[in-house]
Amino acid sequence: MRLTNVAHLRLPFGRLLGYDVTVGRLGRPLPVSFDQRRHVGAGDRAGSWMALSFTLSAPVPSDALAAAWLAVVARHGTLRSIFSPGEDGEPRLHEVEIFPGDWVEHPIAPGQAVNDALRDVLDHACPPYSRPSHRLCVLETAAGPTVVVAADHSHVDMWSMLVIARDLLTALAAVQDGRVPSLPPAPAFAEHTRALRDCPAAPAEVHHRWAEVLAASGDVMPRFPLSLGAATLQQERVEVRDVLDVDDSAAFSAQARDDGVSTLALVVAAMTDVTRELAGTPLRAVFPVHSRYDATWNDSVGWFITNSVLESTDPDPRASAEAVKEAVRMGSWPLEDVLRPWGGMPEAPGMFAISWLDLRRLPVRVDATGLEAQYVGATIRTDGVMLWFILDEAGLHLRCRYPDTPEARQHVGTWLDTLIAHLQSRARESVGGRLPLGDRVYRVQRAGRADVPALVALLSDDEIGRTREGAEMARYEEAYDAIARDSAHYLAVVRAEDDRIIGTMQLTIIPGLSRGGTARLQIEGVRVAATERSHGVGTAMLEWAHDHGRHRGATLVQVTTDRARERAQAFYARLGYDSSHVGFKRAL
C-alpha cells in the first residue's frame, strides 16, 4: 500500500463533500492512555490526524455512504468519544452519542489543488479537541468516488485505518443490498487502556535498560545521529520511496530466512551498518510497538501503539534480531511507570523514530491494489526524523519525514540513499536468487529484453521446439514486452558463473475462486541448455519456482508438457506432480 502525505496524495478533480455528524452531550468519563494524554495534551493543532483514501468503482448514493459510516462509528467506541481540556490542563475523555447529520460541500477555490482543499478540511475537522475529531469525506468524480477517512491520531493507528476501511466497505455492501448495516460489537479502546493500567509494573531490569539507552542519548529519547540544522520546528520534507519491488522483496526475505532472522531484523542490520558507516555510532531510535497483545483487540479501533527504544550496535543479522526482540520487550510494559523518572517521555529536537508494519501478517485485509488505497499523513512542521516502513505484496515501501533544512536534506538524504542501496544490494546478492549445485552456483533473474534471442534459442533446442519456433525476432520481443508489463508473470533466466544463460521458465500467478479461492502457480516453457542437463539444474529451477509461488500466495502449482515429451513427464512425476487432469488445446 502506498505511503504518502496529503501534499503528495494522488487525487482526481471533483466535488469534495464531507459528512457532518450530530454529537450529543458528554456522557460517562473514559480513561485516557499515556500516549493519548501526551498527544492531546499538546493542544489543538493542525496536522495531528492520519487518514486512508480508497476509490470505489461505481458511484454510491450519499445516504448509503452516510448510513455505512454511522454503522462503523456505532461499532467502535473510540469514534464515539471526544476530548476536552480539564481545569488542571490535563485532557479529559468522555463518551458521546453520535447521530445522523448532513453532507456539506467543501468549495475548491479557483487555482486551488484538490489536495490543498482536502488538507484544509481535515486540519479543521480533526484536531484533538474537535467534536468529534474524525471526518468522512468523498471526492465525487466521473470515474467514481474517492473516499477519505481521517481521524486524530489519538483515536487511530495504521492498523485501525484498515479496520475502518474494511468495516465501512462491509456496511456499505449491506446498505446497497437493502439490509441494515449491522456490524458486530468490538471491544473499545478504553477497555484496553483500563487493562494496561492493571498490568504489573515493569521489572527492575527493564527500568535499568531504558535508563542505559536514554543516557546514551543524553537522557532524552534517541535522536538522529547526524546534524539536522536548526533545532527548531521547520517545514517538513517528505520522501516516499519504493525500496524493494516484489522480486527483490522475495529475495530479501529469503536471505532473512537463511540467516535465521525476520525481514525486520535484516533491515535493522542494514540500518545499523549504515549508521555506523556515516555517523560512527550505534543505531538508536524510538521504536513504536503494537499493544494489541492478543487477538481480543484485532478488530478494534484505537491508538494501540506504544513507544520503545531500539539500540543496535552490531550489524550482524542475529545481533540485530536480538536488538529488535529487546525493543519489543522494553515496549511491553506501561510507559507511564517506566518514564516516571524523566517526568514523562523526554522528547527533544532531532528525535529519530522508526515504524514497521508488515501488512501481509495482519489479520485485517483489504484489497489495497483494487481500491487504490493509500495511507495519508498530514503536513506539519517538525524538528525530528520519522521513518515508516510498509511491507506488502508489492514489496517494501518507505516514507520519511524530516525538517526541510539544508543540513537535513544532505544528511537524511544521504542516510536514506545509502540504506536503500544497501537493502537493494543485499536483495540482489541474496540466497533467494542462487541455485547452488555441488561446487557450482547458478543465479535466477527476471529476463531482460536483451535476453530474448538467447531464450528463443533455448526454446528451439529440442525436437519439438525446432519445428514450432522460428518466428521473426520482433514477434518474440513484442511477446516479451507483454509479459514484462504484467507483474503476475515472471520470465526467468538462469545464468551460469560466466553469465551464460543456460535455462529459462515462465512463471504465472493465477488467482481463482475455485478450491476456496486458491491461487495457482502456472509453470510454462521450462528449458535447460543441452550442456547442463542431467546435473540437477531442472530440479533446482522447479524448487525455486515453488518458493516463488509460495511467496506470492499460491498454494497449488500446475505444469503442462507435450505428450511426446516422455522424459519431461517422468521428471515432473519424480518431483511429486500428479497427472490427475486431462488438458486440451485448440488453435484460435
For the stretch 557-575, pLDDT in tens is: 999 888 888 888 999 999 9
Could you tell me if 148 and 137 are in contact, meaning their C-beta atoms sit under 8 angstroms apart? yes
Phi-psi region of 226 (alpha: psi -120 to 50; beta: other; left: phi over 0): beta
Taking the mean position of all CA atoms in its chain, how far away is CA 159? Answer: 10
Looking at residue 37, its pLDDT comes to 96
> Helix (H, G, I), strand (E, B), or coil: what is residue 355?
strand
Looking at residue 422, its pLDDT comes to 97
Residues whose CB is less than 8 angstroms from the CB of residue 112 and which lie 6 or more positions away in sequence, other chains included: none
Helix count and strand count (H, E) for the chain: 17, 21
Picking from 505, 497, 498, the residue whose alpha carbon sits closest to that of residue 549 is 505
Give the span between the Cα atoms of 152 and 82, in whole angstroms: 10
Taking the mean position of all CA atoms in its chain, how far away is CA 230? Answer: 32
> Helix (H, G, I), strand (E, B), or coil: what is residue 299?
coil
Looking at residue 506, its pLDDT comes to 96
Neighbours of 317 (CB within 10 A): 23
For residue 392, give the H/E element and its range. strand 385-392
Looking at residue 202, its pLDDT comes to 94
Looking at residue 527, its pLDDT comes to 94
Locate 497 and state its grid cell.
558463473
Bridge partner residues of 388 (DSSP): 355, 399
For the stretch 75-113, pLDDT in tens is: 999 999 999 999 888 999 999 999 999 999 999 999 999
Instruction: Render 220-278 in DSSP notation, one character per residue.
Output: SS-B-SS--SSSS-EEEEEEEEEEE-HHHHHHHHHHHHHHTS-HHHHHHHHHHHHHHHH
Give the span between the Cα atoms of 474 and 367, in whole angstroms: 37
Bridge partner residues of 354 (DSSP): 387
Phi-psi region of 351 (alpha: psi -120 to 50; beta: other; left: phi over 0): beta
Please state the φ and ψ torsions of residue 68, each to the nearest 5 degrees.
-65, -40
pLDDT tens, N- to C-terminus, the chain (588 residues): 888 889 888 788 899 999 999 999 999 999 999 999 999 999 999 999 999 999 998 999 999 999 999 999 999 999 999 999 998 889 999 999 999 999 999 999 999 999 999 999 999 999 999 999 999 999 999 888 999 999 999 999 999 999 999 999 999 999 999 999 989 999 999 999 999 988 899 999 999 999 999 999 999 999 999 999 998 999 999 999 999 998 899 899 989 999 999 999 999 999 999 999 999 999 999 999 999 988 999 999 999 999 999 999 999 999 999 999 999 999 999 999 999 999 999 999 999 999 999 998 899 999 998 999 999 999 999 999 999 999 998 899 999 999 999 999 999 999 999 999 999 999 988 988 889 898 899 999 999 999 999 999 999 988 777 788 888 999 999 999 999 999 889 999 999 999 999 999 999 999 999 999 999 999 999 999 999 988 899 999 999 999 999 888 899 999 988 888 888 899 999 999 998 888 888 889
Looking at residue 403, its pLDDT comes to 97
- Quote the longest CA-to-CA distance of the chain: 88
Could you tell me if 154 and 49 are in contact, meaning their C-beta atoms sit under 8 angstroms apart? no
Do you find a cis peptide bond into 132, omega within 30 degrees of 0? yes
Reported pTM: 0.88
Domains and CATH numbers, the chain: 2-192 (3.30.559.10), 198-368+380-431 (3.30.559.30), 435-575 (3.40.630.30)
Looking at residue 302, its pLDDT comes to 98
Burial annotation 102-138 (CB, 10 A radius, 16+ → b, else e): eeeebebeeeeebbebbbbbbbebbbbbbebbbbbbb
> Helix (H, G, I), strand (E, B), or coil: what is residue 582?
coil
DSSP state of 351: B
Neighbours of 199 (CB within 10 A): 12
For the stretch 132-173, pLDDT in tens is: 999 999 999 988 899 999 999 999 999 999 999 999 999 999
Looking at residue 464, its pLDDT comes to 79
* Amino acid sitting at position 107: P
* Triad 500, 506, 509: Cα angle to 5°: 145
Give the span between the Cα atoms of 166 and 581, in whole angstroms: 38
Distances (CA, A) of 413 to 226, 258, 275, 427: 11, 31, 13, 21
